[in-house]
Structure 1
Amino acid sequence: MLRPSISLIASITLFFFSSCGNKTGRKPNIEKTAKKELIGNKADSIPSEIKKEKTEEAEFVLTEENAIDFFFKYAKEVKENKVRLTTNMGSFTIQLFDNVPYHKANFIYLIKKGYFDNTQFHRIVKDFIIQGGNSDDKATGRKRAKIGRYLLPPDTRKGHKHHRGTISMPSSERDNPHKLASPYEFFIVVTKPGSYHLDGSYTPFGRIIEGMDIVDKINQVDVDEGDWPMLNVTILKAEVF
């Protein structure tokens, strides 16, 4: 029987170990590893530092089941009660009512999340209202999906009426006999002295204290048959203070 020489065994062993090693000598690319995870690779392939970042970035999502409890607590934490909306036609300031806590807290929360930035006054009815908080931009839908899907109960018995300059919240377009409010939109009354037929159906949660002339200016822009402005009226920035 032929026996392999010692030199042949050593050569085979050296070839085996060199083949199993990292030929390039480079460290794994963390960005590529993380990218693969986004398209369905197993989580255990992600380095620990990437796992930590993904956990920290996880966002709380509002639902119809948790929204009321969340805003009940959130309303106790917020200190701000004024809002400034800056549009491409000028800015105006809103004083929020303290005794409609859910609606006030919701508006402040969305502003702090940056939701209203780059949305539009998408419905304008002459000498009646301007309605904002939506757009035909897909980014608005993505922001809504990230924050959550929920409605707010009406809060109409706090003594607030739909005077001129009042900001209120429209009801959802879904089958909605209880007039649950659509939290992502709002309207401002332009009618003189007010639109009191809205009382009892919608929830006023603030009033314009500065810049009503800008609201009137927005109300006079040309619109199409669906009350959508012919030129975009964009909310550039929403701020609380």
Structure 2
Amino acid sequence: MEFFLVYEKENPENTVRISTDFGDIDILLFEETKFHRANFIYLTKRKYYNGTQFYRVIDNFIIQGGSGDDRKTGVKRKNIGRYLLPRDTNRGFKHDRGTISMPSSDIENPHKLASPYEFFIVQQQGGAHFLNGDYTVFGKVIKGMDVVDKIAAVKTDEPTGLLKTYI
């Protein structure tokens, strides 16, 4: 994690644009969640998210991105490396509508460390506050919630909420 402490100082950006087939989503990344902000900037600059998908879409809940069926995504992960981010849930941020957060890793993970590659945006009206304390909120949509709503409304490929929408 030392790397991200240095990286966040050298890369002070705090906004990211996610371009999708449905339009753009502008995200403000919170300074208080240093590891998560630095990680998201790092992966963006490494072009990790290019070609990934919002692969889990549940209307009136979340859209989740950063993964995909494309073999290139696995190659990118292998090249970047395997690591987890510490949970940072004591900053007072809540899973309100429009916030961006990181899910826990799917590997054995009793401390709910965050998967660095994936993220979700809360689309639910009124927020998804039952997620508070378990996942780190590290930013919020400042423009493009209409795009989030469009993605959330798309009929998914499977009952699990899978959607092939490229980022």
- TM exceeds 0.5? yes
TM-score, structure 2 normalization: 0.98
Give the count of matched residue pairs. 166
Aligned 1:70-81 pairs, distance under 5 A: 70-81=3-14
Distance 2:146 2:165 in 1: 15
Distance 1:91 1:189 in 2: 16
| Greater C-alpha Rg | 1
Shift of 1:226: 2.0
1:228 aligns with 162
Aligned 1:91-240 pairs, distance under 5 A: 91-223=24-156, 224-229=158-163, 232-235=164-167
Structure 2: gaps of 5 or more residues? none
What secondary structure sits across from 1:79 in the alignment? coil
Q: Which amino acid aligns with 1:177?
A: P
TM-score, structure 1 normalization: 0.68
Could you list the per-position Cα deviations for residues 80-110 of structure 1 after superposition, in whole angstroms to 9, with x for gaps in the alignment?
1100010011111000000000000000000
Percent sequence identity over aligned pairs: 55
Q: Which has the higher helix share?
A: 1
Cα-Cα RMSD = 0.6
More displaced 10-residue stretch of structure 1: 115-124 or 75-84: 75-84
Could you list the per-position Cα deviations for residues 135-188 of structure 1 after superposition, in whole angstroms to 9, with x for gaps in the alignment?
101000000000000000100000100000000000011121101000000000
Shift of 1:75: 1.1
Structure 1: gaps of 5 or more residues? 1-67, 236-241
Structure 1 stretches of 4+ moved >2 Å: none
Distance 1:118 1:145 in 2: 16
Q: Which amino acid aligns with 2:153?
A: Q
Distance 2:129 2:23 in 1: 27
